[in-house]
Structure 1
Amino acid sequence: MNEKHKGAAGKTRPRPQNGSAPRDQEPFKPGLAARIAATKILSAVVDRKTSLDGMLDAEHGNPSYTALSDADRALVRAILNSALRHLPRIEAMISALLDTPLPEGARSLQHLLVVAAAQMIYLDIPDHSAVDLAVEQANRDPRSRRFSKVVNAILRRVGREKKDLLEWAADISCVPEWFDSRLKAVYGEKAAHAIGEALLSPASIDLTVKSDPARWAETLNGVVLPTGGVRLRDFKGAVSTLEGFEAGEWWVQDAAAAIPARLFHGLAGKRAADLCAAPGGKTAQLILLGAEVTAVEQSANRLARLQGNLQRLGLSAQCVKANLRDFKPAELFDAILLDAPCSSTGTTRRHPDVLWTKGPDDIAKLAKVQEELLAHAVTLLAPGGQLVFSNCSLDPAEGEDVVASILAANPDLRRVPIAPDALPGLEEAVTPLGEIRTTPAMLGARDGVSGGLDGFYACLISKG
């Protein structure tokens, strides 16, 4: 970084005089509570590996978030999504503007600066508002109060120099170092960079429709995808307000998530099981393919959600609450779909906290769980049956390696290669072994809609 990207040193803020109330007891300025909430939640994600979804739950989330108005909650979500997507670049910019690194343990101050910089660089929020509220926030925090002048100086420079800073930071990967190294090892440097850049864009809203995707694309202002679903154009509202929702004509499902159920052959009249079934999108697909479906889910809450979704869609399945490891049906299944729990690293476009709350140890642990679940699932499959194993991880340790291990241990199983022409428009997702491997960098923008899809792995296996 050149000389112009250096900051100013801070000074200790004087104590209040003449009996005036401490700053942290004064009423909040409008918008300050939202910034404080965003800073607290960012700290919980990055420092304590806490899931963002839970903290942003409208009823049971972080108290600093649930206390906000709907407008301020939306602002907090926007700040956090931008901050987490661009975190390495934002932190690099802040570091470049500091004369000396922040003190060891000054994490609250670091997160405060990130929250403010994210607003100024990536959101349509006036610079003066972001700076003013950040300084006010620093003054109210005993840990950061003595750095309030540093906050003011650094953020003002961010405002003046944001164009230069963005150009300077453009080559910095926006995924954590541990994940960047894994991407490069698996996909190569060029593809890893493309995936990292694709993760910066929010996911579009994709729908799986019961029938006639062309009509629904026209009705809902979308385009038909190679997966047979519909992608909406720049829709920002609640999907429940769209035509066809109440009638159960479609459901929200990422384009990649719609692929695994499409890999089965001839399900009409067959007994099929969707294991780890909630929220039910794949269950619905299996039903529409003509199968008699048993949906297995361990969580009572998630099972209730699945049942509610099927009810809206006017579809029915036998729903079973069970731990998959203990599930033993009276009769073997002709088809099984196991979309196994995983690190979810392929869903970072819509869940930008994933790469900051997970790590290599989590991938290793989850891969072991997946292998155990798949080993049990194959015992539930009838001779001649089909099994699709899938998950939304970008890491082969949770996909290709799991399947390879199970095939090696079970001579009666074989991989059924998927032909590239089975996914017209997404041929690049079919691997040389005939497995499916999508990345967020696939499915380019077209017809006025953005590109990309979740990272997904899927493999079709037959028995006997």
Structure 2
Amino acid sequence: MSSPPSPFGARAVALRVLLDAEDGREYASDLLEKALEEDRVSALDRSLATALVYATIRHRGTLDRILDAFSKVETEKMEPWMRWILRLAACQLLFLEKIPAYAALDEAAEQAKRHRDLRAAGFATGVLRALQRAIVRIEADASPKAASAAPEEESEWRKSLGEALEERWPDLPHRRLVPIPGGRRAIFDRDLWPDPWQEPAGFAGQMLSHPVWLVRRWLAKFGAAAAVGAMEAGNGHPPMVIRVNALKATREKLVERLRGEKVEVDEKRLHVAHTGPVGRLESFKDGWFAVQDEAAQRVAPMVQAKAGELVADLCAAPGGKTAQLAEGGARVVAADSELGKVKGMGKSFERLGVKSHLALADAKQPPFGRVFDAVLVDVPCSNTGVLSRRVEARWRLRDRDLHVLARVQRRILDAAVAVTKPGGRVVYSTCSLEEEENETLVRAAIREGNGLTLEEELKILPGPEWTCGGYAARIRLMAR
């Protein structure tokens, strides 16, 4: 006999997860998965709790600034439970279109009452009603989309944030504007953000919910329009993107089968609209496709692996790039340092029909000789190119972390070169947009190495065309 459903609703589950994740010891995504399993919530509440947790974390910076405009107590000075109750409710009012305002406000009051008393409930209700009254309108956003790549023209690079905002949202009060992912925007009756001409990083960081130190870097490196595009992409809910398993299906046959399973699919880009667990689809169980972002799919082809070549993927988990390499007939060694991840890859490869040699190995010290024709290292990184999927990364990361990461990444790249045959290739990749982890590191390795040449380089910025971004470079070793 199955267990009864949980008495806890989606908002209660979301609040508990967000509170437990605040100290940073565990990821909210892991806590959410555990809570949904333990509380046995309904399918509807599972979907809502997931949306609440991820949206509230994504928009935390924006929500805090808005709440501060209507509260006598700054959010950072509130007790954690009150802070997250208000963030959750404000998130529903602004960013979750299908939730009635009364439901968000009533539940916030009840949560505050359960945590403290009627006075706390009154405080929460007062702040949220003031916020609600200040929203002039929420409407469709028909403005031109932001740029999706760093512009080549110097005039575009030098364009100020104020100018970029005028192009992105012409004739709108930018300091009163809240962009809402999915093509909507809210207009308030008062200024919320700093002056974009005087404090560009502060304005963009608050309006688009990114740390100011990161915004400052992106404005300087990519230009204002591309930086805004990357931040908007980081706030969006990314589509599920799939890749055809060439060993078992063609694009046409996969699309036909998915539609037979009542799954909406974009035939051109293979974006899938599926709200249930993908593992329940028969086409997935049969290994016809893998879930893999478009930017990530661009990396494995850069290895140029040929049938029969011996190729290593030294940071292989979860195995998507390994599968791509093996589908072309290469003999692939898939290595990772965590046993659980290695076992997970084994199950995935079995489903896909992929042949690969699994290895438990530290990428910084791989237990191999100079035997590989090519090596791929998709190194651990800051994840600044995939903030739409790694929703907590922006708030956990500090600028000093980039140098720590770069030292580890350089060790892995040097180790990859050391196990590659003369004349072979090494492809280095990250999900980061930061130069310390990408161009600067690769050029230093080539400059300090012996007979290394940069053959190809790829950098993708998130934006309207790419929901996620990253970097990859192919390095050629000198033949003897």
Same fold (TM over 0.5): yes
2:461 to 439, 445, 461: 439
Aligned to 2:209: 174
Structure 1 unmatched runs, 5+: 1-29, 418-434, 444-451
Q: Does residue 42 of the first structure (1) align with residue 15 of the second (2)?
A: no
Q: Is the 8 A contact 1:31 1:72 kept in 2?
A: no
**CA-to-partner distance for each residue in 1:62-84, whole Å, 9 max, x for gaps?**
5x973251343332211111112
Aligned to 1:67: 39
1:332 to 367, 371, 374: 371
Structure 2 unmatched runs, 5+: 1-5, 138-175, 177-185, 194-203, 259-263
Q: Distance in 1 between matches of 2:136 and 2:244?
A: 43
1:381/1:331 Cα in 2 relative to 1: closer, same or farther (>3 Å)?
closer
Q: Does residue 281 of the first structure (1) align with residue 313 of the second (2)?
A: no
Q: Distance in 2 between matches of 1:233 and 1:154?
A: 39
Q: Is the 8 A contact 2:303 2:376 kept in 1?
A: no
1:364/1:442 Cα in 2 relative to 1: closer, same or farther (>3 Å)?
farther
1:78-89 matches, cutoff 5 A: 78-89=51-62
Q: Does residue 189 of the first structure (1) align with residue 227 of the second (2)?
A: no
Of the structure 1 ranges 379-388 and 81-90, higher mean CA displacement relative to structure 2 is found in 81-90
SS at match of 1:326: coil
Deviation at 1:100, TM superposition (A): 5.1
Q: Is the 8 A contact 2:317 2:345 kept in 1?
A: yes
Q: Distance in 1 between matches of 2:474 and 2:53?
A: 38
**CA-to-partner distance for each residue in 1:412-452, whole Å, 9 max, x for gaps?**
111003xxxxxxxxxxxxxxxxx111122152xxxxxxxx3
Letter in 2 for 1:38: A
1:68/1:185 Cα in 2 relative to 1: closer, same or farther (>3 Å)?
farther
SS at match of 1:346: coil
1:133/1:408 Cα in 2 relative to 1: closer, same or farther (>3 Å)?
same
Aligned to 1:370: 409
Letter in 2 for 1:140: R
Aligned to 1:236: 275
Aligned to 1:8: none
Q: Does residue 204 of the first structure (1) align with residue 239 of the second (2)?
A: yes
Structure 1 stretches of 4+ moved >6 Å: none
Aligned to 1:216: 254
Q: Distance in 2 between matches of 1:266 and 1:192?
A: 34
Aligned to 1:127: 101
Letter in 2 for 1:290: G
- Structural RMSD (CA): 2.4
Q: Is the 8 A contact 1:94 1:154 kept in 2?
A: yes
Q: Distance in 1 between matches of 2:317 and 2:373?
A: 20
Aligned to 2:87: 114
SS at match of 1:202: coil
Aligned to 1:51: 27
Q: Distance in 2 between matches of 1:237 and 1:37?
A: 19
1:389/1:224 Cα in 2 relative to 1: closer, same or farther (>3 Å)?
farther
Aligned to 1:96: 69
Q: Distance in 1 between matches of 2:355 and 2:223?
A: 44
Aligned to 1:155: 128
1:357 to 392, 396, 420: 396
Q: Distance in 2 between matches of 1:331 and 1:364?
A: 29
Q: Is the 8 A contact 1:204 1:231 kept in 2?
A: no
Deviation at 1:197, TM superposition (A): 0.9
